[in-house]
Amino acid sequence: MGEKHLVSFSMVFLLVAVFISQAQGSALCDEAAFPALCRSTVKGASDPTSALKITIEHLIFETKRAKDSSLKIGSLKSLGVCKQNFDDAVDDLQSSLAYMQKKDIPSLKINLSAALTFYSTCDDAVVESGDQKKASTVLSNDLLLQHLAANCLHLSTLLK
Ligand SMILES: *[C@@H]1O[C@H](CO)[C@@H](O)[C@H](O)[C@H]1NC(C)=O
């Protein structure tokens, strides 16, 4: 009887702890450019450093996925531009993670802004190609990448 009571008490404690950590995670996202996306990405992260790390890692994953998807669309010259820019964005985001670890926040911010430039360079190339149908797939993938990158920039402003 007493043991059962103890178990349910620790369950309640666990649920409260999870709830509090998620509430903190959302607070980090309150001022983000895309708060709902920010919250679903950082989940229960309670400090800006781990929230940013999770978001950058997720952005790297999504950038690789966008690259694979653009390679499947066909062999337009503009898609080659995108492939190169996706590769550059991944390198750039990996160096962002390294700067974050070294607590070099100015360099981190420079690299995070650069990621946005890589995605928009790809957008410009596919728009100029004039192939509406192929362009729309790339543009919609890029939109998620740009939103995640904007959220990374926001989270980087919370680092101390
Ligand atoms: C990343 O930041 C470093 C340090 O500020 C800079 O030298 C490098 O050019 C940046 N990378 C990009 C792609 O902007």
CATH number at residue 143: 1.20.140.40
How far is Cα 43 from Cα 34, in angstroms, rounded to an integer?
14
Kindly tell me the number of DSSP H helices and DSSP E strands found in the chain. Answer: 6, 0
Which ligand 1 atom is the nearest neighbour of the CA of 108? 2
pLDDT at residue 160, rounded to an integer: 79
pLDDT at residue 75, rounded to an integer: 75
pLDDT at residue 149, rounded to an integer: 98
How far is Cα 53 from Cα 152, in angstroms, rounded to an integer?
9
Give the global pTM.
0.83
pLDDT at residue 89, rounded to an integer: 98
pLDDT at residue 25, rounded to an integer: 53
Phi, psi for 77 (deg, rounded to 5): -60, -40
Residue 16 CA, ligand 1 centroid: distance in Å = 42
Range of the domain at 73: 2-156
pLDDT at residue 64, rounded to an integer: 97
pLDDT at residue 16, rounded to an integer: 54
Strands (E), the chain: none
Residue 91 CA, ligand 1 centroid: distance in Å = 10
DSSP state of 82: H
pLDDT at residue 24, rounded to an integer: 52
Which ligand 1 atom is the nearest neighbour of the CA of 95? 1
pLDDT at residue 91, rounded to an integer: 98
Q: Which of 17, 27, 30, 19 has its CA nearest to residue 47?
A: 27
How far is Cα 76 from Cα 125, in angstroms, rounded to an integer?
10
Low-confidence ranges of the chain (pLDDT < 50): 1
Residue 103 CA, ligand 1 centroid: distance in Å = 15
Q: Supply the residue whose CA is at minimum distance from atom 5 of ligand 1.
A: 107
- Give me the number of domains the chain comprises: 1
Which residue is listed with tokens 């802004």?
A: 113
pLDDT at residue 94, rounded to an integer: 98
